[in-house]
Structure 1
Amino acid sequence: MSDTTSPRVALVTGGSGGIGHAVVERLARDGFAVAVHYAGNKDRADDLVEAITADGGRAIAVGGDVADEQDMAAAFDAVEAAFGGIDVLVNTAGMMRLGPLVELDLDLLDRMHRTNIRGTFVVDQLAARRLRSGGAIINFSTSVTRAQFPNYGAYVASKAAVEAITLILARELRGRDITVNAVAPGPTATPLFLDGKDEATIDHLAKAVPLERLGRPEDIAESVAFLAGPARWVNGQVLFTNGGLA
């Protein structure tokens, strides 16, 4: 069991932008020492670390390709060296590219699935080996696995794989006192979601939600904070955080 007198430690992949940024800020406010992972935007990760430390928190930035096991092993090593161990992995890193199945470029399909499927598998495998007792693994799916919007086929296929990894790993970690869950956001106002969509499309998706707005990154961070902290009896689940989207 981890030392309860020390802060819990979280590694957030994709922590330099979008939902990951909000998750890092929320966990830092909750008292976690946080590792902000980035793939290409080191400056943004460093700025976030600087803001957290200026506010009295503990944070470091770690880089690497989530689908590269050597990169991510080095990232895990850096977090353990800085903070003494890891309690929570939040895997927000991902790609979303949309288009009809009949037209989608297969190279784009391969790149997206490498990040979303292999990347999740790599970081979950490392987390399963390294997280301390009492820990939590939190992956990211999408509510479109249920909403089934056209043009999302390749992306949803990758996230369905993430759900499968999540639900099976939860059962494989029997006896370890480590929970494994996924958060499935609905339409959320992030650069990843907004990129390439016109105003009419964005308004339509907002109105599809009974609360009649897009989600905010902070809304999604609330669910992550729940799973990372008090939700010790929630395990092997997909938490649809979507304002009631069918």
Structure 2
Amino acid sequence: MNRNTHARPIPLDDIRYFECEGVVDDGSYDHYTGRLFQVPSLAVARANRLATLCYRRKVSITKSCLYLCFTPALPDGVVRLTDFRREVWQRYVMYGLPLSFNQGDEESRVERVWMATLQSLREIVPSEQIESVDEAASLVEAGGEDLRFPLASAKTKTHLAELAYTMPTWPGMARLLLTVTDRSSLVHGTCVLFESKLSDECGFVGGKVKIIDGNVIARPAASSQGRYYAKLNNVSSFVVSIESLLQGKASVIRNPHEADEA
């Protein structure tokens, strides 16, 4: 099966790991990893980070979600493309993995799954997007748990304010971070505005940022998801003094959600 470079460019935004005793084309039942293959949480976190970066780079596999399905029924390291799917947004790829995979330590299993993920993506993305996948992978590898995903920024003649969030390995907490930099001295400070078990929640709670009268004001995204999470977490804005943040003594003022907010 050849990669289709003319299919509608739907950005990849999710990567999931499944497993199957046979191959899905032959009717074998597939399910999340855990029975046949013990995939570490760090491998799943890496996949989430990679998918988010691919989405921002508009990398397309013609569907929004990659279901990478490991199976001992194929030779080790063999990628098998398939048209199988249960939903229109799914793109299945079979990948040969021996049951001896579980005998490896956590680090080796993480690296094996990572290699399989990149190998599979390179098989199905348009050839001109392979470089984008490799660039995203390099960022994931270099950033690790501290990798930040930018959300919004604002600047004046004197200061730059940036919002970003992290995507932790389960069961770690995702963090919504505010960083302010003095554009003259390059002195900077960072504080945590919000934490959640859900990375997406941090992304919607921190959608906008402004610098007003020596303060940075961060607000939820002006989308339906932003309004939903603002109400759910009872927050309309976060206010931080620039001076206190740059001095390492930031205190975050969290203003409650207002029922009539649009």
- With normalisation by structure 2, the TM-score equals 0.29
Which structure dedicates a bigger proportion of its chain to helix? 1
Which structure dedicates a bigger proportion of its chain to strand? 2
- With normalisation by structure 1, the TM-score equals 0.30
Tell me: higher relative CO, structure 1 or 2? Use CA pairs within 8 A at least 6 residues apart.
1
